[in-house]
Amino acid sequence: MEIEDETGKKGKAHTVFAIAIRYLKDDLSSIINDRISGVFKPDEIVWVLTVPAIWDDGAKQFMREAAEEAGIPSDKLTIVLEPESASIYCRHLPLERSGGEHALSTFKSRSRILVVDAGGGTVDIAVQEVTFNGAMKNIYKASGGDWGGTKVDDAYTKFLADVVGSETLLEYRRTHMEDYLF
C-alpha cells in the first residue's frame, strides 16, 4: 500500500510508519539515557502503540510489522485501542471537585466511564466499567468512525476552493506549502 504526501509524492505506507515509529522510539530512548541512564535496559521496556478502534486485525498487524521494522521486538510490543488506553489514563488524572478541591482520580469499582476520543482521522468511543479488582471491563465494544478532524479540514479546503477557485488554491498550495499547512 502506498500513501501520498501533500505534494503528491508517493511512498510505501509500511516504510513511512516504520520510520515514524523508529523516530519516536529513538527519541524516547535518548531522553531516558539523558535523564535516568542506567535505570532501564532496552529489553526491559514494553512498548505500547495505540490504534483507532475502527482498525481491523489486518491494520493492527500492519502496525505490529511496522513497529518490528522500527526495532521493537514483537514480544515487547502491545497494540491497544485508543479509547481503551485513554480511559485507563483518565483514571489517574487530577480532578477538580466542587469547592476547588483537587484529588487524584481513582474511580471506584462499578464506576462507568465513557471516553470519546476525537482525533485527526477518527472519533473513537469506549464505555468501560471499573471492576472490583480495579481492572477495566468493556461495557460495549470500542467503536467509532471516520469522523475526525481531517473531515473538518477537508470541508474547509472545499469551502476555500469554492471561494477562490480550485486552481488558485492548488497554486497556493504548490508555491506556499508551509503556509498552506498552517
- Does residue 152 form part of some domain? no
Domain residue limits at 17? 2-109
Q: Residue 63: how many CB atoms within 10 A of its CB?
A: 19
- Does residue 129 form part of some domain? no
The three-class DSSP label of residue 157 is helix
- Does residue 118 form part of some domain? no
d(CA 70, CA 25): 8
Question: What pLDDT score was predicted for residue 182?
Answer: 62
Which residues of the chain have a pLDDT value below 50?
A: none
Grid cell for residue 110: 462499578
CATH code assigned at 72 = 3.30.420
- Does residue 151 form part of some domain? no
Does the pTM exceed 0.85?
Answer: no
Question: What pLDDT score was predicted for residue 131?
Answer: 84
Cβ pair 172, 180 in contact under 8 A: yes
The secondary structure of 120-132 as a DSSP string is SS-EEEEEEEE-T
Domain count, the chain: 1
**What end-to-end distance do the CA atoms of the chain give, in Å?**
28
- Does residue 70 form part of some domain? yes
- Does residue 96 form part of some domain? yes
Question: What pLDDT score was predicted for residue 71?
Answer: 94
Question: What pLDDT score was predicted for residue 150?
Answer: 85
- Does residue 87 form part of some domain? yes
Q: Residue 45: how many CB atoms within 10 A of its CB?
A: 13
Question: What pLDDT score was predicted for residue 63?
Answer: 95
Cβ pair 90, 114 in contact under 8 A: no
- Does residue 126 form part of some domain? no
Cβ pair 119, 149 in contact under 8 A: yes
Question: What pLDDT score was predicted for residue 101?
Answer: 62
Alpha helices of the chain — where are they, by DSSP H?
A: 13-36, 57-69, 82-90, 149-164, 166-175, 177-181
Residue 99: DSSP 8-state = G
Question: What pLDDT score was predicted for residue 132?
Answer: 82
